[in-house]
Structures are given as C-alpha cells and as structure tokens.
A and B are shown apart, each in its own frame.
Chain A
Amino acid sequence: MAVSSNTVDIAAAMVTQPVQGADWLLVTPLLLTMAGGAVAIMLRKKTAIQPWIAIGVISLVVLSNIGLLAHVLDHGVVTMVMGGWLPPFGIAFTADAMGAFFALSASIVALCAAIYAAGSIEASERRYGFYPFLILLLCGCTGAFLTGDIFNLYVWFEVLLISAVGMIVLGNDKAQIDGGVKYAILNFVATTLFLMATGLLYGLVGTLNMADIIVKVSQLEGQGPIYGIAAIYFLAFAMKAAAFPVNFWLPASYHTPRMVVSAVFGGLLTKVGVYALLRVVLMLMPEPREWLGDIISLVAIATMIAGALGALAQTDIRRMTGYIVISGVGSMIAGLAIANQVAVAGAIFYAVHSFFCITALYLLAGVINRIGGSFSLRELGGLYNKSPLVAAVSLILLLAVAGLPPFSGLWPKVMLVEGALESGRSLLAASILISGILLTIAIGRYWIYAFWRGGPEGTVDGTLVPQSDGTATVASVSLPMTVTVPMAILTGLVIYLGLFPEGVMAISTQGAASLVDPTAYVQSVFGVWP
C-alpha cells in the first residue's frame, strides 16, 4: 500500500476556504445531543443524575439553537458540507429561518419535557432509558430540521422513529404495547413510502442534495414521474403528520404512554411531518404541488374538521388533545395548499405555536390527572376550587389552541385566512374559521366540565360549597417545581406569542420567503444559481 505522491486538484472536489466558527452552530445541536445521549446511555443505572444530564445537555442545545437562529437571521441561509466535500456530493446541512426556528422550538419543548419528567418518570423507567431516548429524539428532530439532503432526512426520521417507539412502550403494560404497535406499523409504512419516493426521485434527477434537486426539478419540463413522486411524498409525510384519511393512528396511540411522552410526541413528531411537507413538497417540487393543490386543500379541510369533530366527541381529555393536534395539522396543511408567502408564513407560525401549546396541553392533562384523579370529563369537576391557578393556565392554553385572542393561536390563523382569501380559496378560509368555532365549543366543554362545574357527573351543578365532610372548599393543591417550571415556560411563550407576534411573524415570513423562492437556499449551497 505505497502512497503515491500524486498531485490532485483538491479545490475541484473539496471545500478549501476556511469555515467560519459560527457556522459550526449548525452541527453543535446534533453533536451535543449525540454525545449527551451517549453519556446518558452509559450512566443509565445512575437514575438520580439522569435528569440532570438531560436538562444540562438540552439547555446547551437551546442556547446553541438560539445562536444558530440569530446567525441565520443575520447572514441568511447557512450551509455546511460534511467532510468538506463539495455539494452535491458531500452531505449538506442547510439552515434557513424555518429550520433554525423549528429546531429552537423543538429544543425548548424537549427541555420542558425533561424538567417535567424529573418529577413523573420513575427510577425503573429511567433505567430503561427514558432520558437517552428523549435526548436522541431531540437529536432526530434537530437533524431533520437542519439537514439539506433528502436521504439524510430519511435517516433522521429513522432516528426519531426508533427513539419514539422506545418511549411509547416505556411502561411495558398492555395498552402501551398496543398503542406502540399501531404507532410503529403506521410510521414504518410511512417511512417506507418516503424511502421509495426518494429512490424514484434519485432515479429521475440523479441527486439527493435538496438544493440540487430544486435546480434539477425546475429543469424537468412537465415530466410525469415527478408528479407521481410528489404524490407519494405527500402521502408519506401526511401519514407522519396525521392528516385526515391516515390520521387514525394518532388518537389510538398518543393517550397510552406517560403524559410527558405524549407531550413530546404531540409537540414534536407531527410537526416534523409538517416540516417535511413544507420542505419537500413545497420547496423541492413547486410545480407538482400546484397540480396537487386541490387534493391538498381537501385533505386540509377534512383534517381540520375531522379533528375538531373528534375533539367534540371525546370525553377522555388525552384523546381529546389528540384530536386537537389533528385539527392543528389541518391548519398547517392549509398553508401548504395555499402556498403563497402569507399562508406559508402562517403555517410556520402555527407550527411554532403548536409546538408550545400542544406540549403544554398534554402536560396539563397530566396535571389535571394529578389533582383531579382522572382523565375522563365524566369524573372530573370542581377543579377550580382545588387550584384556581391551574384553571387560569388551562383557560389560557385552551383559548390559544382554539385560536382565540389574545393568545398565540390567533395570529397564524389570521395569516392563513388572509392567504386563503388572497389566493381565492374561500372554502379553505371558511373551513379554518369553522374548525375554530368547533374547537371553541370543544374546549369550552373541556374547561366547563373539568373546572367550572361543582363536581363530577351526578353532582348538582352550582354547588361549590360545602363538601360532605363539612369543609367549605378543598385545600388548594401545591404542585412541585418539576410541574410549575415547564408549565410556566410554555404558558409564558403562548402568552408572549399572542401579545407580541411581530418578531415571530418576521421570522416566519423570512422562512416562508426561502420556501416559496428558494434562490437564496440554492445559493447558500452552491454559491451561485447554477
């Protein structure tokens, strides 16, 4: 194996300019989560320090993502190619405003979950690997949001799926295995479709780098296969996002695991599906998306309405929250159907709102179970007496999720309706509003049953006093820090997004701009539009 001292022109194949230190912010969240996950696996027998490892690592990831978002907002789209090989051959990581913003939101959600879990996940479940799974789930999410290579996106989906299945069967009881199997099978089918579509796409355009795909697809002139590929991608990601005809796995599985696991899933996983829809179907294949526009619009309408009706029909607050998630997914897909800049910005804003609000709602279900002893609206009641604070927080979150002012759900819906009217999709605009009304009824029922009425089903309403044992009111429950801190962070964000939406709106608009017109994205990878 003698090494010949041949002179090769390295600049033809590799990046030769020095890389800015700040660009490393693109990979630090991934390196941190991988290294943190590895340490958490090694130390999984030391259950007492597990939460501290997770909280420490995820806090660092949050800081790093804040840095990344600031860097992206300052310098535009950032690209880094692994191993220094020039794109499209090196695997690119490309962060635009949407990717960086989603990565930041995901890490905040994971941080809240890590704190909440410190008080609710038992030692045996920690030994089984709750925290490594949580950290690696965040790793998969962040990777999916930041990668600029479609096969790499598939790899991150696998990372996500493995950690998600690990988390869903954590307690090992029958209902959880049942939910886990439903979840796993449906998601494996979706991932397989994704892989098949990627194979077909590679066969058609001969590249996997997203920026390169944009260029190559724009040069295809009305070729049939790309339309079929776009349709398969849409189906695969719609399954992941739980859109209407393929949504049934979500309410069937999300209520079985620990509440904190549901919170992470509801907060992160469907949003990864929506992200992939926006990134792949909207940005990579604008022409086929146009062609699919009416179908996507129908799916969005059906998802919104089916989700809202499902939420109305449920009496279990966990299942109800599952349907609320689905209704929200419909709103985000509406942004994909409309596809002008306002609507896409609305979809991005909605996703960010949904990250925080849905996670908080699932954690809230855990809190309600803790103070009320049940998840069923039939058995709950009179919780206002036990904790007016929880009642207030839940009212805020429920109003936000239904899109009522002054909280975070309002603005994205305003943007979506505006976009829908702008592009003449009045039916879609009407559906967004109708699903809002249906959700308002559903959440009104939730809040009135759980908090406002005097007691569980059978109690004469209006009787807040006195209890059978003579005490006038039940002593208010005190909640531990592990509950109050994450709830405070998430509720604070929901209120903040509602009252001061300008900043988020600006970031969403910037994210939407690079999706609708990906010139900046391509230039960031190749330097010029080739």
Chain B
Amino acid sequence: MNTVIFRTIAPYLSALMMVFSIFVLLRGHNEPGGGFIGGLIAVSAFAIYGIACGVAAVRRSMVVHPMSLAGIGLFIAVLSVLPSYLFGQPPMTSQWLIFDFLGSELKLSTPLVFDIGVYLVVVGAITSIALSLEERDVD
C-alpha cells in the first residue's frame, strides 16, 4: 500500500471525501444522507489517510482524540433534545429556524443539530476502532 501514487493522492482524496461527507450530512433531512452515513464517509477518509500516511498522521490531523470526539457528539445530540422543553412540547420535537440568507432560504433545526451529534459520534467511535486496528497491524 505504500506506493508513491497512493501516498500522493491520499491527502487530496481524503480531503475531498471529508467535504463530501459534510455535504451528505447537511442534505440528510429530506433526502438520502444524514449524520450516520456522512460519518461513515468521513471515517473512510481518515482510514485512507491512515493507510497511506500512518496512524500518527491521522491522530495529528484530528487534533482531539477520536473518543473525545464521540463524547462531544453525544453531548451535542443530548443538547438538541432540550429546546422543545421551552415550548412545552415532548422531547425531541423538532424546532425550525427558517430565514433568508443572502437571497436563499436557510433552514436551521434541532434535527440538524442532532444529526451533527450523530456524525461526530460515528466519526469518533469508528475512527478510534479503525486506528487501533491499524496500530495493531504494525506489530
């Protein structure tokens, strides 16, 4: 796996996949996509980067530890449940904020926040599994 071609292409490929994973995350509410599948695409990006450049490089590029990332995601998902309390609605009832942003309609909502939480949980949990498997592979 250590060919020059792969090592040269991998950073660009994984960057492209990261952008695509965020695109999939954001289009998820009404169309195929969402936090889980977006997260999996992001994990594949990290995995490709890891295969090409080593686990250490992936850990450096993630800044926070993947497990902590999963923790942050879980916390964000819990936060998304809370706003409906203020409106006297059952938990997880979606709240929408629709406004005009530079001429196009922008819709922000609690399901999106929840999806971002799911995305981070998936990225964190599965990346940390993938990285520890890859580390074992060396010895």
Contacts and interface: CB of A to CB of B under 8 A. Distances in A.
A203 interface: no
B81 interface: yes
A456 interface: no
B91 interface: yes
Contacts of A1: 30
Contacts of A80: 90-91
Nearest to B71: A41
A18 B89 CA distance: 6
Interface stretch (B17-25, B37-45, B72-80): B72-80
Contacts of B75: 35, 38-39, 42
Given A39-B71, A41-B70, A44-B67, A34 B78 contact: yes
Interface stretch (A81-89, A374-382, A425-433): A81-89
A19 B92 contact: no
Contact of B91 (A18, A24, A38, A42): A24
Given A1-B30, A44-B67, A34 B74 contact: yes
Contact of B93 (A35, A42, A83): A83
Interface string A32-52: 001101111110100000000
B90 A83 contact: yes
A90 B91 CA distance: 11
A15 B75 CA distance: 26
B90 A81 contact: yes
A27 interface: yes
A392 interface: no
A31 interface: yes
A41 B69 CA distance: 9
A19 B90 contact: yes
Interface in A408-463: none
A42 B90 contact: no
Contacts of B74: 34-35, 37-38, 41
B70 to A, nearest CB: 7
A3 B70 CA distance: 34
A177 B72 CA distance: 29
B88 interface: yes
A87 to B, nearest CB: 11
Contact of B68 (A37, A42, A83): A42
Contacts of A3: 98, 105
A81 B70 CA distance: 27
A41 B93 CA distance: 27
A219 B91 CA distance: 32
B72 A42 contact: yes
Nearest to A82: B92
A84 B72 contact: no
Nearest to B69: A42
Contact of B71 (A15, A38, A90): A38
B99 interface: no
Nearest to B89: A84
B12 interface: no
Interface string A100-142: 0000000000000000000000000000010010000000000
A80 B98 CA distance: 27
Interface residues of B, number: 25
A256 to B, nearest CB: 23
A82 B89 contact: no
A41 B68 contact: yes
Contacts of A21: 85, 88
A84 B78 CA distance: 17
A3 B30 CA distance: 12
A41 B67 contact: yes
A18 B88 CA distance: 5
B5 to A, nearest CB: 38
A27 B78 CA distance: 11
A140 to B, nearest CB: 14
Interface string B90-103: 11111000100000
A132 B75 CA distance: 13
B85 A24 contact: yes
Interface string A300-323: 000000000000000000000000
A506 to B, nearest CB: 30
B78 A15 contact: no
B10 to A, nearest CB: 29
A437 B90 CA distance: 51
B93 A84 contact: yes
A82 B78 contact: no
A42 B72 CA distance: 7
A1 B98 CA distance: 13
A161 to B, nearest CB: 15
Contacts of A34: 74, 77-78
Contacts of B71: 37-42, 132
Interface string B40-53: 00000000000000
B45 to A, nearest CB: 23
A80 B77 CA distance: 19
Contact of B89 (A15, A31, A35): A15
Most chain B beta-carbon neighbours within 10 Å: one of A19, A21, A132: A19
B31 to A, nearest CB: 9
Interface centre among A1, A21, A41 (most CB of B within 10 A): A41
Nearest to B74: A38
Given A1-B30, A41-B74, A82 B90 contact: yes
Contacts of A23: 90
Nearest to A15: B90
22 contacts: A15-B89, A19-B89, A19-B90, A21-B85, A34-B77, A35-B74, A35-B78, A37-B71, A38-B73, A38-B74, A39-B71, A41-B74, A42-B68, A42-B71, A44-B68, A81-B90, A83-B91, A83-B93, A84-B92, A84-B93, A129-B67, A132-B71
Rank and list the top 4 A-B pairs by shortest CB-CB distance, nearest first.
A41-B71, A18-B88, A38-B74, A38-B75
Given A31-B81, A41-B71, 19 more contacts: A18-B88, A19-B89, A23-B90, A27-B91, A34-B77, A35-B78, A35-B79, A37-B71, A39-B75, A40-B71, A41-B74, A44-B67, A44-B68, A80-B90, A80-B91, A83-B91, A83-B92, A84-B93, A90-B90
